[in-house]
Structure 1
Amino acid sequence: MTAEQKISPYIIKAEPRPERYARGWYVIGNSASVTTTPRMLGVFGTKLVAYRGRDDGTVHILDGYCPHMGGDLSKGEVCGDSVVCPFHLWSWGADGVCDGIPYANKIPAKAIIKSWPVLEKNGLVLVWQDPENRPPIPEQEPEAIADWYSGEWTDWEMRAIPIQSQGRELVDNMADMAHFGPIHYSTVKSFRNTMEGHKFVQYMVGGHQILTEGDDNLLTSVATYEGPAYMTTTMTGSMDGHPMKVHLLVSHIPVDMENFIINFGVMMKKDPSLSPEQNQAMLDDYTEKNIESFHQDVAIWNNKCIIDNPLMCDGDGPIHMVRKWYSQFMTDVADIREDQVRRREHVTVEGPSVEEVLAAQGH
């Protein structure tokens, strides 16, 4: 190649980002993680307080600082359905309105803090974030997971994993077929994606060096994002000779623009031939194996750069498609375009479908 023919080096681009967090539902933990003891949430570049009312038993989330003199409400206590600031004992109701000042004759009319929309569903607690302060969009409420309510499944085994990056980097995994081999010890037999509205789905069939045994023991995976941060996956296979079906939760919540927390959860269908202790041991073992695999991703995210113009090849998955879908949640509702939400499908690797493998395995 002559000097005239030499191609200029590819230049990575990453545009500066204003502080803005995607519109949608975010998991803060399982139901057991919120009690009548106030809990601090360092999320969305600020501090919130989550607590369960003593009277109504409902989870409430408020701005975390008292506007009187800046007391930390998570260091206070719950009285009825209100949280009381430890500094001067101002009491804040579940609606964010101050409902008591022990030494005042009149409560100031401006004594209101933000009460965040909360959803408790599928054994999880979620908070709604919207940069336009709009109420939750009804059709974007996560669907019920019938298995969690059936009594035939374990509860969520949860872990919180801190990541030094932006949430979009996690969502890229939905389309990034090529990383499953080097990062997750997987061999991909088929891989396709669909998007429509607020949902993005990944269908994959493959093997796994840790989670499956033998070349014929295929693992199926259907991963679904409902909004920008709530992803559940149903996986089938076997472990230690036992048929296995699990649901995984991977829900990130931003701490700030450069850090997020992944709330990672596993629930497993109980084997009726095993004791509760044996079922729990299987769940614990499977959870640790998943986290071992997942931490390979963490090592990548904590050290990679942000890149807005990834240089793709023909074997990569539809990264641009998933980023187009994700961008709707960073766009004002009135400005969402049809190309951000219309139905699309992309097949990266053709092979046996999830449905065919499940039928062959008797699921």
Structure 2
Amino acid sequence: MPKQEFPFPMPNGWFCITRSHELKAGEVQSLKFCEKEVVAFRTESGTATVLDAYCPHLGAHLGEGGCVRGETIECPFHAWRWNADGTCAEIPYAKNFPPKAKETRIFNYPVVEVNGFIWAWHHLHKEEPTWEVPAIEGFNGDDEKWGKVYHYDYNINTVLQEIAENDVDQAHFPKVHGSPSLPETEAITEGIYKKTIAETLMDPSNDSVSEEFKVKDHGMFTTTFTRESWGLGTVGLRMVNLPPSGGEFIMVNASCPVDNSNSILRWSMRVSKDIEDELGMAIIDGIANGVLDDMPIWDNKSYVADPILCDGDGPINKFRKWVSQFYSEPIQN
């Protein structure tokens, strides 16, 4: 069965290009982002930049053999150099700088660095950003409260809307994950921002936790689970009141649409130091492995535009209405 393409246009918003520590000064990465070939590079002074990938001169891919020269990227074909703003900086062999070269600009994506990630703004019609990526506590600078940061990356064979819809799909948790559903006790929606709070039971010895991290003599416990979303690209998670000392868990989910069938999730997770040596890795490992349960479903499912829903399914239609604001064109049902 061929993998389906979904009826959604590429979404608008801030999306994760890569992790900050994975793009060092002078380095270049070739990436696919929102169905476009792009090049990410960090100038020698440390500025992270994302441009469309192809040199306007004769079409070489700047990410395949291109290199950083000072504050520019040099084309591997004829050594034309391009500034971070997409303008042409230098043509090494030209006696006269062509007027067209002065007028030409490679599209440069708005970029910010926060929470340990490099984010690029995508808009289908190239409009400017309409919100900012929030700084999430525990992922910006040193903080004595928190333990080690753990990184997990996933290549997912579906689109971001399908992934995010699982968060509100209450009925899939017991069947797919073997865990209780997460009925919302509080829900707030304000424009591109959405916040939900739920009480849930956790078991540090369940099947999602790798054998080496299981805490078999602890038993189940209740925690408050808060999820905040800013568009489809940024999600912050927090759990509090974790035993034995009332510890906390925090996470950033930084997402990237690759094309109309594929996405990348980059997760950063950590727990407060007071539980790091006890339940910490059971919680982190269990959550990291939980998404693996979803993958066979995503690999093979189709999108149902007008689903048959019942009272235990969760607020799926409300979620779809909220997410529709991130598309510049209507969904082709």
TM-score normalized with structure 2 length: 0.84
Pairing partner for 2:252 from 223, 246, 249: 249
**Distance across 2 between alignment mates of 1:15 and 1:87:** 34
Aligned partner of 1:72 among 54, 61, 64: 61
Distance 1:197 1:125 in 2: 23
Partner of 1:309: 306
Partner of 1:53: 43
Shift of 1:223: 0.8
The CA deviation at 1:219 is 2.3
Partner of 1:319: 316
Superposed CA deviations along residues 57-106 of structure 1, whole A, max 9, x for unmatched, are 12111111212222221221111111111111111100000101111121
Q: Is the 8 A contact 1:25 1:129 kept in 2?
A: yes
Q: 2:199 aligns with which of 197, 205, 211?
A: 205
SS at match of 1:298: helix
Counterpart Cα distance in 1 of 2:121 and 2:53: 16
Map of 1:151 onto structure 2: 143
Q: CA deviation at 1:147?
A: 2.6
The aligned amino acid for 2:122 is Q
Aligned pair partner of 2:28 in 38, 43, 54: 38
1:223-262 aligned at under 5 Å gives the runs 223-236=227-240, 238=242, 244-262=247-265
Amino acid at match of 2:224: T
How far apart, CA to CA, are the structure 1 residues paired with 2:48 and 2:105? 19
Distance 1:188 1:85, change over 3 A: same
Further displaced range: 204-213 or 92-101: 204-213
The within-5 A match list for 1:105-144 is 105=95, 106-107=97-98, 108-137=101-130, 140-144=131-135
Whole-angstrom distance in 2 between the partners of 1:252 and 1:122: 13
1:299 to 296, 301, 314: 296
Q: Which residue identity is paired with 2:272?
A: K
Change (3 A) 1:270 1:329: same
Spell out, residue by residue over 1:247-283, the C-alpha distance to the aligned partner (whole angstroms, 9 max, x if none). 1222321111111111222133233x97xxx69x955
Residues of 2 paired with 1:69 and 1:201: CA distance? Answer: 48
Q: Deviations over 1:121-155 (max 9, x none)?
A: 12221110001211111xx2122223333522346
Q: 1:182 aligns to what?
A: 175
What code does the residue aligned with 2:263 have? Answer: F
Contact 1:236 1:244 in 2 (8 A): yes
RMSD: 2.7
> Aligned residue for 2:327?
330
Deviation at 1:237, TM superposition (A): 5.3
User: What TM-score comes out, normalization by structure 1 length?
Assistant: 0.77
Alpha-carbon distance in 2 for matches of 1:83, 1:255: 23
Tell me the amino acid that sits aligned with residue 200 of structure 1.
Answer: K
Tell me the alpha carbon deviations over residues 153-192 of structure 1, each in whole angstroms, 9 at most, x when there is no partner: 3464222211111221012123212222222332247424
CA distance in 2, matches of 1:263, 1:16: 22
Q: Is the 8 A contact 1:177 1:191 kept in 2?
A: no
Q: Aligned partner of 2:201: which letter?
A: G
- Alignment partners' CA distance in 1, 2:266 and 2:94: 42
**Relative to structure 1, is the Cα distance of residues 201 and 324 closer, same or farther in structure 2, using a 3 angstrom cutoff?**
same
Range moving further from structure 2, 310-319 or 174-183: 174-183
Unaligned runs of 5+ in 1: 1-13, 336-363
Identity of aligned residues (%): 29
3-state SS of the aligned residue for 1:222? Answer: strand
User: What secondary structure does 2:300 align onto?
Assistant: coil
1:214 alignment partner in structure 2: 219
Q: CA deviation at 1:119?
A: 0.9
- Maintained 8 Å contact 1:40/1:50: yes
Q: Distance in 2 between matches of 1:238 and 1:43?
A: 37
